Amino acid sequence: MLEDLPEGWAQLIRRAGYRLTRPRQAVLRVLAESEVALTVAEVHRRARARYPRLGLVTVYRTLDLLLNLGLVHRLPGEVGGQLYVRADLHPHGHLLICRSCHRAVEIPCTGLEEMTHEVERQTGFAVQGHWLELFGLCPACQEGTDG
Amino acid sequence: MLEDLPEGWAQLIRRAGYRLTRPRQAVLRVLAESEVALTVAEVHRRARARYPRLGLVTVYRTLDLLLNLGLVHRLPGEVGGQLYVRADLHPHGHLLICRSCHRAVEIPCTGLEEMTHEVERQTGFAVQGHWLELFGLCPACQEGTDG
DNA sequence: CTCCGTATTGAAATCCATTTTCAATTATAC
DNA sequence: GTATAATTGAAAATGGATTTCAATACGGAG
């Protein structure tokens, strides 16, 4: 039942003092299985297939929990719903996202550490983190008819 | 009355077929005068000082208009309100934003064009645009007591 | 300068994502 | 098993953003 969760998710959650309940497992599994960034509503829809009584609120709470544990990324999307993806697929927060299907691909991001230090030197800011997002159309969606 | 607007904003808006009304001027002026990225609510608050009858709806509509004309950037911020800044201050969408005061600084962003082409080659995506955001604390806010 | 047609406005209503509240439920330690 | 504290889901509340529509004001024609 838990074996199809990503490496150590179960332990991490338990160690952090959280219970591994059925609703949570449903949400976890959905995220684990998707390489595509999902809206909250989509996570809810999919997770319901595993646990029909699942409430939307629990989806929000579980996503928040996963976010705090660093297991998922939240993509600061456009107006109308944030997107979530497994963090272990994209450890550095450098993503290429398809505007049509939300497929997310990790970008090999050379030189950003260096650039960060350079920027700190120039501006006096204390940089705490970064987000690099490229967006466009993935190969599959380029073949489709929509623009 | 219009002279303190950034270069050509007035003409651009007129040429695009829009009227330069008092409510719009109020909103324009607020954005023109701020180097800091502003929430919609903050724009509303400040613009009211110039034109008290100004409705929040008009702020949204005007920001949208400016966004379409490319005169402002919308920063895909965290949950709870998007931020807007003059686009001419940050032509490439590479920003360093203070988490405390929302001051936005343009990042000299070398090598990103190259990286984009490289990524397109590797992934087959058609890249349409990008967003690079560093966040941290500006020098002034580092001195403050809050974290 | 005045009049007119039309774009624009603001208030209210609505929409939709997210959060809060709280009684009922359920996972885990004993 | 039982106790107990975390967790859940429904409903209500919140808050950002959008839609609707009658009233208003811009800016060209006269």
DSSP string, B71-137: SEEEE--SSS--EEEESTTSTTSEEEEETTT-BEEEPP-TTHHHHHHHHHHHH--EEEEEEEEEEEE
What is the CA A32 to C1' D4 distance in angstroms? 32
Tell if the CB–CB gap between A119 and B137 is shorter than 8 Å: no
- On whether the A90-147 domain is CATH 2.60.40.10, my answer is no
What pLDDT is attached to residue A53? 94
The distance in angstroms from the start CA to the end CA of chain B is 41
Q: How confident is the model at residue B1 (pLDDT cuts 50, 70, 90)?
A: very low
Q: Kindly tell me if the per-residue pLDDT of B147 is higher than 70.
A: no
Best of B60, B123, B146 to disrupt the A interface (most A CBs within 10 Å) is B123
Average pLDDT, chain A: 80
Domain A1-88, what architecture?
Orthogonal Bundle (1.10)
**Segment among A111-115, A125-129, B82-86, B141-145 with least mean pLDDT:** B141-145
Interchain CB distance below 8 Å, A134 and B142? no
**d(CA A68, C1' D5) / Å:** 22
Q: Which of A95, A19, A52, A68 is nearest to A60 (CA)?
A: A68
Task: Name which residue leads in pLDDT, B140 or B23.
Answer: B23
Q: Residue A100 has what pLDDT?
A: 61
**Domain at B9-139: CATH code:** 1.10.10.10
Q: CB of B64 under 7 A from strand D?
A: yes
- The pLDDT, as a whole number, for residue B117 is 84
pLDDT for A147 equals 38
pLDDT on residue A140: 74
B145: pLDDT strictly greater than 50: no
Within 7 Å: CB of A58 and strand D?
yes
- CA B51 to C1' D25, in angstroms, rounded, equals 14
- The pLDDT assigned to B79 comes to 57
pLDDT for position A1? 46
Considering all nucleic acid strands, name the nucleotide whose C1' atom is nearest to the C-alpha of residue B23: C9
Q: At residue B59, does pLDDT exceed 50?
A: yes
- Smallest Cβ–Cβ distance between B124 and the set A82, A107, A139 belongs to A139
As a whole number of angstroms, the distance between CA B87 and CA B31 comes to 10
Average pLDDT, stretch A12-22?
A: 90
Domain ranges of chain B: 9-139
Q: What is the mean pLDDT of residues B101-119?
A: 73
The tally of CA atoms less than 13 A away on the side-chain side of residue B90 is 26
**Distance between CA atoms of residues B127 and A137, nearest Å:** 7
Q: Which nucleotide is nearest to A55 (CA to C1')?
A: D9
Q: Look at residue A73 and give its three-state secondary structure.
A: strand
Distance CA B128, CA B93 (A): 13
How do residues B16-36 score in pLDDT, each as one tens digit? 889 999 999 999 999 988 887
Would A1-88 and A90-147 be classified into the same CATH topology? no
d(CA A72, CA A59): 13
Say whether pLDDT at B88 is over 80. no
Residue A7 pLDDT grade (very low, low, confident, very high; cuts 50, 70, 90): low
Residue at token pair 């039942």:
A1
